[in-house]
Amino acid sequence: MIQPGNGSKYPSHPSKQILITGGAGFIGSHLADALLASGHRVRVLDSLLPPLHPNGRPEYLSGAAELVRGDIRDPKRLREVLPGVDIIFHLAATNGAGQPMDAISRSMSVNAQGTTALLQAMLDFRVTPEKLIVASSMSIYGEGQYVCSVCSRQAFPDIRASAQLQLGRWEVRCADCGGVLMPRPTHEAKPSAIHSIHALSKRDQEDLCLLYGRTSGVPVTALRLFNVYGTRQTLSSPNPSVAALFAARLIRDQAPLVLEDGAQIRDLVSVHDVVRASLLAMERSESDGQVINVGCGIPITIRRIAQILAAALGKKIEPVITQRFRAGDIRHCYADQTKARRLLRYEPRVSHDQGLCELAEWLLQRQSEPQASRDRVPKTPQLQTRVTACSTNGNLMQARLGRLDERWLSEDYAQSWPPETSVQ
Ligand SMILES: NC(=O)c1ccc[n+]([C@@H]2O[C@H](COP(=O)([O-])OP(=O)(O)OC[C@H]3O[C@@H](n4cnc5c(N)ncnc54)[C@H](O)[C@@H]3O)[C@@H](O)[C@H]2O)c1
Ligand SMILES: [Zn+2]
């Protein structure tokens, strides 16, 4: 198992009372584990959103974490959880629906209004934590940062027009000379370009927290998370991770369905590295008032993700390059980690090979677990067993695979991501 340890001097640090909003989720629960392991006390405020948490308190959430079930927008619950809190990690959010204009009121209500409620409650109840860390998102960049291959100009291009994509012309073009734009690491200074309600709500969340910090004196750090992956990730989210979906298809001996030509670049960052960066943001005053990218900084193509997962699962299955597209998708974006390195001393430690293998192992393991030890997947009878090879940290591991879960892995489900359009 990959250890999230941040290399800090914990637990010699004094124990702090930490509040994690959305702490029963994927990232929040890993963060809770690391904070508890460091000797802190963790309180979680989470509404246990039914599609994500069909069985209430998730089993993976440490028993040592105090869970208050409640909505971030509810002042009564906030009044309950805020007293005595030293540090706040604000992670509660809805995570997009894969469609630019879907779920407008839900995103704005939970992400923007929910953040407003949290800050208002801090003000009303005179809670002044030592630090507030908000989980922002790379979605607010829109397209990544580029340089023109012909005229060498730096470019912050707009999202590609559907008319271009219908011609199967995937690369982003220079607005000045028409040359193909080459992706570069995306810096925090790149102007945001909002193309979805989700991105708008995340930017609001970030802006609200930073503004609150400037006016109240509470030190605030906004971490712009890139594409986070790892164990405990759910496919029940409206916008599930591409790595988990590919792995789910591969486990079922189905080829991952890759949009466009598969050369799109993303920044896939292990949840363990995100936790490490979060702890560093908590500890280091250099990050006060700052917006900081948290990625792995190593670009990876969508096609490569599918190939690494296939190798990890011991499957000789190549991805299907569909040459289809989803309107509004970005072409390339990966993190410039200079600021994270400078202010947080953050260095990602989990390689794609290691992290994707851990994800694949976990998905396999879940298939053979009884219902009692799962939270998000219904039990299905044992139909078949396979032995696959997966290498984590250099150790070859044999994993036994039980009957594949129908809901997670059904053809409909796997194909429902992403809603796509074919090239005319
Ligand atoms: N996972 C990623 O790739 C990624 C990328 C960029 C940013 N982020 C941000 O990181 C944070 C955590 O993401 P995650 O992937 O762990 O998501 P997640 O969906 O697993 O966890 C979010 C948690 O928030 C809770 N929640 C939702 N609405 C709530 C409300 N109204 N009140 C209280 N709790 C509520 C949910 O029940 C869930 O447990 C989010 O703010 C997300 O926008 C995640
Ligand atoms: Zn040019």
- 229 CA: nearest ligand 1 atom: 3
- Using a cut of 0.95, tell me whether the model's pTM lies above it: no
Axis crossing angle, helix 302-312 with helix 352-368, rounded to the nearest 10: 50
pLDDT digits (tens, 9 = 90+) for 367-385: 766 554 444 433 222 222 2
- So what's the pLDDT on residue 2? 63
Q: Which residue has the tokens 């359009």?
A: 421
Cα–ligand 2 centroid distance for 267 (angstroms): 25
Which residue's CA lies nearest to atom 18 of ligand 1? 25
* pLDDT on residue 13: 67
Q: Check residue 103 and give its pLDDT.
A: 79
Task: Measure 182 CA to ligand 2 centroid, in angstroms.
Answer: 10
Largest CA distance in the chain: 62
Q: Are 11 and 80 in contact (CB under 8 A)?
A: no
* pLDDT tens string 228-266: 999 999 876 666 789 999 999 999 999 999 999 999 999
Beta carbons within 10 angstroms of residue 86's beta carbon = 16
- When pLDDT is averaged across residues 50-70 and rounded to a whole number, the result is 94
Top-tier CATH class for 17-422:
alpha beta
What is the C-alpha to C-alpha distance for residues 211 and 256, in angstroms, rounded to an integer? 42
Write down how long the chain is: 424
pLDDT class of 423 with cuts at 50, 70, 90: low
To test the pocket of ligand 1, the residue of 48, 67, 95, 206 to mutate (highest count of ligand atoms within 8 Å of its CB) is: 95
Task: Note the pLDDT of residue 389.
Answer: 39
| Sign of the CA dihedral with 272 first, then 244, 96, and 187 last | positive
Position 25 pLDDT exceeds 90: yes
| Residue 114 alpha carbon, nearest atom of ligand 1 | 31
List pLDDT tens digits, range 393-403: 333 222 323 33
Per-chain residues with Cβ under 5 A from ion ligand 2: 148, 150-151, 174, 176-177, 179
Q: Provide the residue ranges of all domains of the chain, joining segments of one domain with +.
A: 17-422
**Residue 160 amino acid letter:** R
pLDDT digits (tens, 9 = 90+) for 347-363: 999 999 999 999 999 99
pLDDT at 196 over 60: yes
Nearest atom, ligand 1, residue 202 CA: 43
HEC string of the chain equals CCCCCCCCCCCCCCCCEEEEECCCCHHHHHHHHHHHHCCCEEEEEECCCCCCCCCCCCCCCCCCCEEEECCCCCHHHHHHHCCCCCEEEECCCCCCCCCCCCCHHHHHHHHHHHHHHHHHHHHHCCCCCCEEEEEEEHHHHCCCEEEECCCCCEECCCCCCHHHHHCCCCCCECCCCCCEEEEECECCCCCCCCCCHHHHHHHHHHHHHHHHHHHHCCCEEEEEECEEECCCCCCCCCCCCHHHHHHHHHHCCCCCEECCCCCCEECEEEHHHHHHHHHHHHHCHHHCCEEEEECCCCCEEHHHHHHHHHHHCCCCCCCEECCEECCCCCCECCECCHHHHHHHCCCCCCCHHHHHHHHHHHHHHHHHCCHHHCCCCCCCCCCCCEEEEEEECCEEEEEEECCCCHHHHCHHHHHHCCCCEECC
